[in-house]
Amino acid sequence: MKYCSTRGGVNGVAFKDAVIMGLADDGGLLVPESLPDLSREMPGWRKLGFTDLAKALLPYFADDIPETDLHRLIDQAYATFDIPEVVRIAPAGDLNVLELFHGPTLAFKDVALQLLGQLFDYVLAERGDHLNIIGATSGDTGSAAIAGVRGRDNIDIFILFPNGRVSALQELQMTTVTDENVHCLAVDGSFDDCQNIVKTIFADLEFKHRYNLGAVNSVNWARVLAQIVYYAYASLQFDEPVNFCVPTGNFGNVFAGYLAKQLGFPIGKLVVATNENDILARFFATGEYARGDVRFTHTPAMDIQVASNFERYLYYYFGCDAGRVAAFMEDFRTTGTASLDAPPNDGVIESTAVTNDETASAIGDVYRQSGYVADPHTAVGMAAARRFDHLSPVVCIATAEPAKFPEVVNSAVGEDVAHHPRLDALKGLPSRRDELPADVGAVKAFVQQRVRDE
């Protein structure tokens, strides 16, 4: 399997090189040069657990790693989870919920980032290299990425987050990790500012190669690949095609579901559920992708106006026409808007936006009806699912442990229910962070001063 850029300037990339490259050197995102049809495997794969399904699926995309090594990395990644099945489907009234938050940092990002940490270590040890990871987080990616690479001698990680715009517990999960290779940067700006800084730094190819920069955000193909597995797994637990309702910010999670469908897994519709930052809901309704002002909500991981994985979807929607993708993204970069001639109609994606009040109401309603406690991001998906009651069966993606957002959850439920011992233990621990302006030069200078190996 080889990989190419959505913008056409990079191709023929092997999997291990794709892991290290992260963002393609032409500014695009790496995707497989072709997608295998795996539908013939479905009968045999239905009986597999999550980890065994990962071992069966991933070799199609990582064929430059011996299967025995890849299987070992998968086992090591998922041994860190609190439940042996890694992910599970739970009832929440009349909804099915796919719980993805049983990893070390209690967020769905662990499913991908525990594996990505193993892959980084494997490739770097093989090559005798050192990697400096730079990433932006709107909440959970940062702590999950840090958990995946903390203490590793061949990796330094620099995580940018919007100062004061992630939950207190999310920040503690990052800043209380005081390993020498971990650097938490509180940026005076929004998540989009953080993400733009990271993309600008990666676009400076001399700087990228000099400091051997790698990406841990969902621009890294390996993250999307790992996420495909849980859509595949969940879809095989039902006797009919499954519809997924996905709380969506950066589009990486729902895009993994889109690819799982393209691979032949029994998936029907994918509902893109945004919060009040509704750039994606507006695009699927109108065909116009237009940047707006960031609104800060109960669901900070979705307070995003530029969805970094949306470009991958466009690549497939445009029939793998890299030139058309590049032109669309250039229009958006220069004007803040880019449009199709009509709303997209691929027969797969539905979309809707959910307000803050609707999110809180969904948390309370589901709790009163079933006793299930949902975090705000999951509740966005639940609220959206109610609007598509013609779709059945529906699986809502549960992205985070509700105890990460105690103020919102407890207020919506009317009881003090949002607790987790691992999170409670963070309070009062030593923490470390550095505050920086939303400035590319300031972040570059910080990286230059802190890297342990060029």
CA nearest to 302, candidates 136, 98, 138, 140: 138
- Whose structure tokens read 């006797």? 239
Count of Cβ atoms closer than 10 Å to residue 345 Cβ: 11
Concerning whether 444 is annotated as a catalytic residue, the answer is no
Under 8 Å between Cβ of 23 and 199: yes
Strands across the sheet containing 434-437: 213-215, 131-136, 155-162, 182-188, 434-437
- Catalytically annotated residue among 47, 55, 109, 444: 109
The DSSP code sequence of 31-66 is: EESS----GGGHHHHTT--HHHHHHHHGGGT-TTS-
Cβ 304 vs Cβ 138: under 8 Å: yes
* Identity of residue 424: D
Sort strands 337-339 and 288-290 into parallel, antiparallel or unpaired. antiparallel
CA distance 158 to 147: 13
Between CA 300 and CA 192 the distance in angstroms is 12
**Which residue is associated with the tokens 């307070």?**
303
Q: How far apart are CA 66 and CA 61, in angstroms?
A: 12
Task: Show which residues are catalytic.
Answer: 109
